Amino acid sequence: MEFNYKSNLIKSILKTLIVVHPKCIFMKSSQIKAFVTNKTEIKEIDDSRNKKLIYKENSSGEFKNSIKNKELYDILEEIKSYIKINKSHEFS
């Protein structure tokens, strides 16, 4: 019944459209055909991108930095400081 209502509604709208906008005469139709399936498509939604992942810090940040390149040495020291901060704010 709902499908018939929608089919009749589409026909009515097309007729009105032709009256209101005569340039749409090419849309005149006496029949509307549609395919209706009884199977609905179920889509899996991946919410993993919206979740904030929290990992337990396994390192204590206590390791020797033997890098000779000053720029890389500083980067590794910064990483060590982040590890120590994360370890001190860790949730059990």
Mean pLDDT by 10 residues, the chain (92 residues): 75 85 81 76 68 75 92 94 83 54
Closest CA to 55 of 88, 90, 80: 90
| pTM of the complete model | 0.40
In angstroms and rounded to an integer, the radius of gyration of the C-alpha atoms of the chain is 33
> Can you give the pLDDT at residue 68?
94
> Could you give phi then psi for residue 32, rounded to 5 degrees?
-125, 130
Residue 46 CA to residue 42 CA, distance in Å, equals 13
CA angle 81, 83, 86 (to 5 degrees): 110
> Can you give the pLDDT at residue 66?
93
